[in-house]
Amino acid sequence: MQNVHTLARAVKMLVLDVDGVLTDGSIYLTDSGEELKAFNAQDGLGMTLLRQSGVTLAIISGRNTRCVEVRAQALGVAHLYQGIGNKAEAFAQLLADTGLTPADCAYIGDDVIDLPVMRQVGLAVAVPDAPHLVQSHAHYVTGRTGGRGAVRELCELILQAQGKLDAALARYLA
């Protein structure tokens, strides 16, 4: 298996799942049927730092909710695909839209619906509470769980591998 830092060095786009990755996987429903999600602020800052370093952000989610659209806009996510039953088809469209190759991409997921994309990308990442099958197809399994810093961990890993972490954090240390 290739060194994770070597794979992360080539990442030009980070593609994320939502439920179980950007959230802890819980789905909250109000009495009126509105869906609510809790997002981690540290994950959000990690995504912002990564985007500011030149890495494109994309989301492919099986569910379709307004709160994900709002969060994606706030974080500058360039490509948002929601309500997706076949993530491989959405990923193919994303590649066509961006002109990137699978090797240019990292993907972080938590369940079997993510495997068709994870098996294509240059850097496949799973969260630690993903099923064993999903973890077995990952180049890297985060130490932090979904919605609890897994995305921040991955963003910092990519920034470190690309030699950009110190510059990304410099303004906070001045």
**Whole-number Å distance between alpha carbons of 91 and 83:** 13
Binding site annotation covers 110?
yes
Binding site annotation covers 19?
yes
| Angle of CA points 70, 75, 80, to nearest 5° | 60
Kindly state the tokens that stand for 129: 């509470």
Q: What is the DSSP string of 52-90?
A: HTT-EEEEE-SS--HHHHHHHHHHT-SEEE-S-S-HHHH
Binding site annotation covers 17?
yes
Kindly state the tokens that stand for 35: 């869906």
Positions at the binding site? 17, 19, 110
Positions at the binding site for substrate? 19
Positions at the binding site for Mg(2+)? 17, 110
